[in-house]
């Protein structure tokens, strides 16, 4: 089905010229068609990239270098378009936007069908669709599980950040044992309820989502104070530089200066492992800086003596 009636409109690179004899009905239909085009372009580019891959028009080793050069779009945008187009190729709904399809792209085919049908039938916005997926995904996991009832002076967290609140697809699954969580999902966790009036939060974050993480920090009732830099020694590929570090932010609620007067170097160089685990040296830094008080690790992967733990792997 053609999205635009060309008879009364001329499309140019920098504008749209509409014939003077266009009726109000034709003008309204054109507006509706333009709206459809806005939501179709991402699919078109994704399918275009997939076609080039199928035909062998570009080499695997430099695929996104070539696509970037042709389109002028950034790599992560092309990865998003191509990934969503590929994963939803046989399940697309004309009544839904590209962003709707991006929300379900990482789900299995049956779940995609279920949530896309639900979005059509209930006329769900992208935000509402995300919430519906979230409800099911976390119904038996972290969000609806009960936090400990105690109060803690020291809180240590390594959240399973989702890289993009709209769950855009960047190719490949995030290396994590937890389902990724959006900023919105992390913010609604009632961490403030388990924090003492005077407490400290140590929270891990990577450079790409540094700005967004402050929403979570504030929602949990804390204020940013300082940070440690984990120099991983090994390099990781990034969009703007070769990222070899991760940040451990120090945030406080009320007044909670370290108990020890010894200041620890803010840069710690430890070679990363293959499993994205955080070095125990940082827990030792926390224990040596804050020598007393109840302490808890959120999103923990193992139990540690002297710490309460909260997570879905325990």
Q: What digits encode the pLDDT tens for the residues 142-190?
A: 554 578 889 999 999 999 887 654 444 333 334 444 567 888 888 888 8
Does one domain contain both 288 and 212?
Answer: yes
Domains in the chain, number: 2
Residue of 188, 190, 189, 186 lying closest to 204 (CA atoms): 186
pLDDT tens, position by position, 242-271: 888 999 999 999 999 999 999 999 999 998
Once rounded to an integer, what is the mean pLDDT over residues 126-132? 86
Same domain, residue pair 189 and 284? yes
Whole-number Å distance between alpha carbons of 250 and 3:
52
Instruction: Clarify whether residues 158 and 251 are in a common domain.
Output: yes
How is residue 143 written in tokens? Answer: 């969000």
Same domain, 161 and 77: no
Token pair for residue 167? 């769950």
Of 87, 121, 140, which marks where a domain is finished? 87
Q: Tell me the average pLDDT of the chain.
A: 85
Closest of 137, 124, 122, 118 to residue 97, by C-alpha: 124
Task: Using DSSP, state whether 250 is helix, strand or coil.
Answer: strand
Please check whether residues 165 and 38 belong to one and the same domain: no
Instruction: Fill in the DSSP letter of residue 79.
Output: H
**Tokens standing for residue 254:** 């009320």
DSSP code, position 181: B
How far the first Cα of the chain sits from its last, in Å, is 53
Q: Assess whether 82 and 167 both reside in one domain.
A: no
Asked if residue 201 is part of any domain, the answer here is: yes
Sheet holding 195-205, edge to edge: 267-269, 223-236, 243-253, 195-205, 152-157, 295-298, 308-310
What was the pLDDT predicted at 152? 97
Check whether residue 55 and residue 174 sit in a common domain: no
Q: What is the pLDDT of residue 181?
A: 81
- Asked whether residue 137 carries a pLDDT value surpassing 70, the answer given is no
**Given a cut of 70, is residue 4 above it in pLDDT?**
no
Residue 128 in domain: no
Q: Kindly state the average pLDDT of the residues 182-204.
A: 92
Q: How does pLDDT run across 57-77, given as a tens digit for each residue?
A: 887 767 888 899 999 999 889
Based on the fold, state whether residues 173 and 305 are members of the same structural domain: yes
Considering the domain architecture, whether residues 288 and 176 belong to the same structural domain is answered as yes
Co-location of 301 and 178 in the same domain: yes
| Cα 176 to Cα 142: distance, rounded to the nearest angstrom | 14
Residue span of the structural domain in which 295 resides: 152-310
- Reading phi first (left if > 0) and then psi (alpha if -120 to 50, else beta), residue 223 is in beta
Q: What is the three-class DSSP state of 53?
A: helix
How large a percentage of the chain has pLDDT more than 70? 86
- Spatial contact of 134 and 141, defined as CB atoms under 8 Å apart: no
Predicted local confidence at residue 174, as pLDDT:
40
13: three-class secondary structure by DSSP: coil
Q: In 3-state terms, what secondary structure has residue 212?
A: helix
**Do 79 and 156 fall into the same domain?**
no
Confidence of residue 141 (pLDDT cuts 50, 70, 90): low
Could you tell me the two tokens for 208? Answer: 């790409």
Pairing outcome for strands 152-157 and 295-298: parallel
Would 147 be classed as within a structural domain? no
Q: Does residue 93 lie in a domain region?
A: no
Q: How long, in residues, is the chain?
A: 314
What confidence category does residue 1 fall into, taking pLDDT thresholds of 50, 70 and 90? very low
Whole-number pLDDT of residue 269: 94
Separation of alpha carbons 188 and 199, rounded Å: 19
Residue 4, CB half-sphere, CA atoms under 13 Å: how many?
A: 15
69: in domain:
yes
- 87, 115, 136: which is the final residue of a domain? 87
Asked, for residue 83, whether it belongs to a domain, the answer is yes
Asked whether residue 41 is domain-assigned, the answer is yes
- Let me know whether 285 and 176 are in one domain: yes
Statement: residue 212 has pLDDT above 60? yes
Which pTM value belongs to this model? 0.56
What CATH number is associated with residue 244? 3.40.50.150
Domain boundary among 67, 87, 107: 87
Long-range contacts of 235-241 (CB under 8 A, 24+ apart): 238/207, 238/208, 239/74, 239/75, 239/76, 239/208
| In-domain check, residue 131 | no
The stretch 91-113 carries a mean pLDDT of 92
Confidence of residue 216 (pLDDT cuts 50, 70, 90): very high
Q: Which long-range contacts (CB under 8 A, 24 or more apart) does 211-214 make?
A: 212/165, 212/183, 213/161, 213/183, 213/249
pLDDT of residue 9: 82
């Amino acid at each position: 089905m053609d999205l635009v009636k060309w008879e009364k409109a001329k499309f140019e690179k920098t504008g749209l010229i509409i014939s003077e004899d266009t009726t109000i009905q034709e003008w309204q239909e054109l507006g509706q068609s333009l709206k459809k085009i806005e939501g179709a372009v991402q699919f078109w580019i994704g399918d275009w990239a997939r076609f080039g891959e199928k035909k062998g028009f570009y080499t695997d080793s430099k695929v996104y270098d070539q696509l970037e050069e042709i389109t002028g779009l950034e790599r992560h945008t092309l990865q998003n378009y191509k990934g969503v187009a590929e994963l939803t190729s046989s399940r697309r709904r004309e009544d839904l936007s590209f962003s709707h399809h991006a929300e379900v792209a990482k789900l299995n085919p049956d779940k995609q069908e279920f949530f896309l049908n639900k979005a059509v039938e209930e006329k769900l916005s992208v935000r509402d669709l995300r919430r519906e997926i979230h409800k099911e995904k976390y119904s038996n996991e972290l969000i609806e599980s009960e936090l400990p009832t105690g109060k803690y002076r020291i809180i240590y967290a390594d959240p399973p950040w989702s890289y993009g609140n709209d769950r855009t697809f960047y190719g490949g699954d995030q290396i994590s044992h937890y389902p990724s969580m959006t900023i919105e999902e992390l913010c609604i966790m009632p961490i403030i309820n388990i924090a003492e009036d005077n407490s400290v939060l140590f929270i891990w974050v990577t450079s790409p989502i540094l700005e967004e993480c402050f929403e979570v920090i504030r929602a949990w009732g804390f204020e940013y104070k300082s940070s440690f830099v984990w120099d991983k020694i090994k390099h990781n590929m990034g969009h703007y530089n070769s990222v070899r570090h991760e940040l451990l932010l120090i945030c406080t609620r009320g007044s909670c200066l370290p108990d020890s007067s010894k200041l620890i170097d803010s840069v710690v160089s430890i070679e990363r492992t293959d499993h994205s685990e955080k070095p125990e040296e940082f827990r030792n830094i926390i224990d040596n800086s804050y020598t007393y008080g109840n302490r808890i690790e959120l999103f923990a992967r193992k139990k540690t003596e002297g710490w309460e733990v909260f997570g879905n792997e325990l």
